[in-house]
Amino acid sequence: MTDLEPLEPLDPFEPLFNPFAPGYTDNPYPSYSRLRAEEPVHEHPFGFWVLSRHDDVSALLRSGNSVDYRNADEGSAARLQADAMIEAAGPATGDTIDAYGMSMLDRDPPDHTRLRGLVAKVFTPRSVAALEPFITELVDASLDRLADAGTTDLIEAVAFPIPFAVISRMLGIPETDHARIRELSGLLVRTLEPIGDPDLLQEINRARLEMQDVVRELIGFKRANPGEDLLTALIAAEEDGDRLSDEELVAQVVLLYVAGHETTVNLIGNGTLALLRAPAELAKLRQSPELAANAVEEMLRYDSPVQQSRRIILDSYEVRGRAIPKGAFVIAGLASANRDEAYWGPDAGEFRVERSGARNHVAFGGGPHHCLGAALARLEARVAVERMAARFPGLELAGEPVWNGRINLRGLSELPVKVG
Ligand code: HEM
């Protein structure tokens, strides 16, 4: 299947990469195609670079270039955004260390290695696999709600509640103020988007501080009520010595909380939409449920829940004969790489649940920052897709899906479906 969304012909006089163009966030794929074909190593007039081909994106992520924005060129947009965040977050917390950029996602080795090692020790394949019965119960309860409603929004009924409940359970925290946490987390992930508006920057910073307070409170609760969970284990790591500071503990928990659901919602939502738009693929899945795991890889490839990673070049870096200078900010186009015809072949734009090698996508990034939650996301999506396909043979779209308007964590805010 090809993209069935309306494709406006691209204006040849438009800049090659303009994520603010009308319609871009609904369907960025024509823009990616043009980048790959015309300038796969693109220097944007604003001074940053965009890579869009699979091999280049994958090599950059494995290259050991930086994720710490403080390594970006003085005066660059990336650096200005980071400085504004740091300034607003630092003094307000009353700490000498800035609370911005303390999570592993924003750190380079040796801090990255230490932080990731501590979290990975408790976020193990075994602890993820053990969640399958709980996830199955959750999925079935969500599908019951879908069945009762007949016609409803799949994001509200299925895609959001599952990952949110799972990460809360893993961390061992009560599913407290859902609506507020969802709102705060929705604001926090905006830091992964370009932010031009100073008011929005302030709003995000307020959300960051409030989220930190929520997490501090949860840590207090956990200290008093330890259990067999991730948060108890991380607190133990902090108490064991000085390997994890208090600020760092808060930052890793916020990261897990937010990364644990914002992205997986997009996977279940975007992936279900792809299936509904390709009824023959849905039928294959129903006939052969063992295809579900590969179908999830294809969903990750075909419409990636995280569209970009970002890196700062630490030393001059050459791609396809072009030198990207030290300090430059580079966007690694994950979703574009996942549609690169030169890598996937001429059917890269089609959704095929049996695609061989689908797992070679870069939807979870690559290199040292490769997604720590990949196994959990895969498990949640696999159970959801398997049981949904089996239970609702006539599942179909009941209206126009609504995109969330995000450039990076691009997903659906509404997916109206009818169980048929
Ligand atoms: C990192 C995607 C689900 C936790 C990443 C990165 C990507 C990504 C692309 C790398 C960012 C970079 O290199 O700049 C996704 C997608 C998901 C998903 C597509 C779902 C479909 C999850 C879940 C969790 C999680 C469920 C945890 C519960 C993390 C963490 C990192 C990360 C902790 C940082 C790793 C590091 O910096 O070493 N994710 N993620 N993710 N993800 Fe995920």
Q: Is 388 a member of any domain?
A: yes
Amino acid in the structure at residue 410? R
Which DSSP string do the residues of 264-325 spell out, in sequence order?
HHHHHHHHHHHHHT-HHHHHHHHH-GGGHHHHHHHHHHHT-SS-EEEEE-SS-EEETTEEEP
**pLDDT tens-digit series, residues 358-404:** 999 999 999 999 999 999 999 999 999 999 999 998 999 999 999 99
Q: How confident is the model at residue 74 (pLDDT cuts 50, 70, 90)?
A: confident
Q: Is 274 a member of any domain?
A: yes
Q: Determine contact, residues 308/408, Cβ cutoff 8 Å.
A: yes
- Per-residue pLDDT, 293: 98
Give distance in angstroms: CA of 309 to centre of ligand 1: 10
Q: Is 348 a member of any domain?
A: yes
The pLDDT mean for the chain works out to 89
304: domain CATH number is 1.10.630.10
Domain that holds residue 226: 37-418
**pLDDT tens-digit series, residues 207-236:** 888 888 888 988 888 999 899 888 998 888
Give distance in angstroms: CA of 98 to centre of ligand 1: 23
Q: Is 340 a member of any domain?
A: yes
Encoding tokens for residue 45? Answer: 């007039």
Amino acid in the structure at residue 339? R
Residue 384 Cβ inside 6 Å of ligand 1? The answer reads no
Domain count, the chain: 1
Q: Is the pTM of this model over 0.90?
A: yes
Q: What average pLDDT does the segment 299-312 reach?
A: 97
Between strands 49-51 and 41-43, the pairing is antiparallel
**pLDDT tens-digit series, residues 334-353:** 999 999 999 999 999 999 99
Q: Is 376 a member of any domain?
A: yes
Residue 197 scores a pLDDT above 80: no
Q: Is 279 a member of any domain?
A: yes
Dihedral class, residue 241 (left if φ above 0, else alpha if ψ from -120 to 50, else beta) = left
Q: Which of 57, 229, 364 to mutate to test the pocket of ligand 1 (most atoms within 8 A of CB)?
A: 364
Residue 230 Cβ inside 6 Å of ligand 1? The answer reads no
Q: Determine contact, residues 131/282, Cβ cutoff 8 Å.
A: no
Q: Is 113 a member of any domain?
A: yes
Q: Which of 111, 302, 310, 371 to mutate to test the pocket of ligand 1 (most atoms within 8 A of CB)?
A: 371
Q: Is 176 a member of any domain?
A: yes
Residue 103 scores a pLDDT above 60: yes
Residue 36 scores a pLDDT above 60: yes
Residue 255 Cβ inside 6 Å of ligand 1? The answer reads yes
- Per-residue pLDDT, 361: 98
Burial of 353 by CB count in 10 Å (0-12 exposed, 13-18 middle, 19+ buried)? buried
% of residues, the chain, pLDDT over 70? 91
Residue that is written with structure tokens 């849905």 in the block: 282
**Residues, the chain, total?**
420
